[in-house]
Structure 1
Amino acid sequence: HERQWGTVCDDHWDLRDVAVACRELGCGAARSAPGAGHFGMGSGPIWLDDVNCTGMEAALSSCSSKGWGKSNCNHGEDAGVVCAGNGWWAAGREPSLRLVNGSNRCSGRLEVRHHSQWGAVCDHDWSILEATVVCRELGCGAVASAYGAAHFGQGSGPVWLDRVRCNGSEAALAECVAQPWGANECTHGQDAGVVCAGNVLPRLRLVGGLNECSGRVEVFYANKWGTICDDNWDLQDAAVVCRVLGCGAAALAPGSARFGWGSGPIWLDNVGCSGQETDFFQCPAKMWGIHNCHHGEDAGVVCGGERWDGGKGPLG
């Protein structure tokens, strides 16, 4: 928080809080919620106290607490977490699903293991809900896209699953409804695929500025970096970007490609943040990739109280 690492106090710390931390980190299910500096005493600020999650939040920062920096604790009360780890490696078991032929382990054609043989999943009824469960089970963060029609190339061997239907909250694909193993009328031209946001790839960045807290706003979606159109872009939107990136308050929200033209897709248009969101992707906007813009309208941000003089540099 505020570009500084700090700890969490163990007051009221429990498995519901740990469940959120494990989910956010892509580390599988919660195992235990140790307190009392179990993993050693931290240093720096104690950022959170009296954390109270329902267990369903996407991020720890979405849970209720006393507020940033407000605590009655010392580092002997630092909270800890033990997660089960990426589900399919837990307890030394062989993986039961994988993504292949993508750009990294968190994208590609979905394959599942049955009777010691890898096979594909048919794209009938395949949607973002099923892909969400795959990303969660693989410890790959949030889902970005769900593909069909062998987007990542045709597999070989059996088509193991068809008509998979998840509600999106399952911990593993095996918990979803599907046809019996091997029962399908599909070809490998219908192989399902998934792109996850990944647990090592950022979803938001600033490019082309003087430092990491100023520049053209770029977002990561469907395995590609793209820009944001400046239609309706204002300080409320910039405030959320700066907060998420730990860059302090927003100073300016320049448009018209102030930090240079981007390349690739223009992912978002008509972004309308209230300024209070804790996650930029909570802000309303047009659907991904839907816009009437060109890169000469790329949106930018200047955080940290800097004033910008039209591209010549920060003003004191």
Structure 2
Amino acid sequence: MRKTLCIQLLVLLAIQRFTDGKAFEESENEIEEEEEMEKRDPEEEYYQEEFIEKREPQDEALDFDDEIEVEKREEDSEHVVAEENEEKRADNSEDAATEEKEEKREDNSEEAAAEEKEEKREDNSEDAATEEKEEKREDSEENASSENTEVENLEARTVQAQFTLVDYRGRRINGQREGLLLFRGGTVCDDHFSLNSAHAICRTMGFAHATRYRNGLVYGSFQSRKAITLDDVICSSSHWASCRSTSHHNCVHSEDILLTCTGTGFKLLNSHGSVISGVRREGLLTYQHGTVCDDYFNYNAAHAICRLMGFAYAARWRHGQFYGTQQTHRRINMDDVRCGHSYWNYCSYRTSHNCNHYEDVFLTCQPGTTHRPRFTLVDWQGHTAARGCEGLLLFAGGTVCDDYFNWNSAHAICKVLGYPRGALRYRNGNAYGSMQTRKSITMDDVRCSSSTWSSCHYHSYHNCGHHEDVLLTCRP
């Protein structure tokens, strides 16, 4: 037991010594380290400071280089952005150029199409020109319709009515004296007839206005044999477009209208504005002091207007602007004058227009009075044929071609020649030898809608041979 305790004490002492020695070594090591640190501090501080001093310029240089690199990077990015912008601009400019080219191509194509249309228009027939004028006119009327007054709207409408004034023998009269009023060859009843009706009808026949009207059976059997073709002529103004009427009637011939019209409304003026009358001289054609446009104007219209003004017929007509301000200061009062025959009651016109003054009509009328057409019937020797005998039909010394010739034509011409019963027969042929073939062919395409010459029209040019000449026999 004691031995054991001694051993334990010895072990404890050994352990204590060991731990104390180790602690002492550690303390010695710490002291040595402190001494070394004290010795090393000045040098380390110096070296550390020198290192810091050396490192700072390098760091600053590195920072400067970083800034340069950043700037370069920024510049590079700016260049990249600029290049991208340039590329975009180039693309945009290319797109714009492409768009401009496309627009130019479209413009060129439109111009080419317009040129093609113009060429087509130039190559088109008169029917195409007529359609174009109609379209143009409809557009101008639609544009003007909202601004025009009621009277102007009425005047803008087509004026057409087949009225005629005739004397007791059925010969057409040119106004200034009373005549029997006919509508399409029949008389007009006085029911609801008024001064408005009289003025409107006189104006459709080319006169300025009516001076008087009355009713009565004045022209005997010539009048009473005719049908009554118009009744209840009611007009709200002095324009025919404001009138209404009916072809049915409950009248007798004692109610027929006899009418007196005055003034033609048409005048021929020289370059000084003075009226031309009684001489063959060209003048500016005016209607109600305004000019007349040449749209649809033809020789039928020229003859009809010359006859209204008291001349025999029209010698020539043309259009143009020849009188300067004497012409251009006037309004254009008439357009689209269309005449189926050479008498004004077969004509229509408009008081609205789509014209310029270079389209104004200049007209030359032959002095004299309106007379019967120059028809004659001659035998094989060229002498006047005996009454009731067949003869070669001549007009103004030349033969008449049989194109469109019919019984209406034959009756109308025989009546003009003084045979009231009309024609007995007609044929064609080259029957009179050299006397016939030496003559010119002066009339063709004689078309008559009734057996009176006023319903006929014809051409003075032809496409015939003498084997088509008309040979006519009138009933004595």
- What is the TM-score normalised by the length of structure 1? 0.50
Structure of higher CA gyration radius? 2
Q: Say which structure is richer in helix.
A: 2
- What is the TM-score normalised by the length of structure 2? 0.37
Larger relative contact order (CA 8 Å, sep ≥ 6)? 1
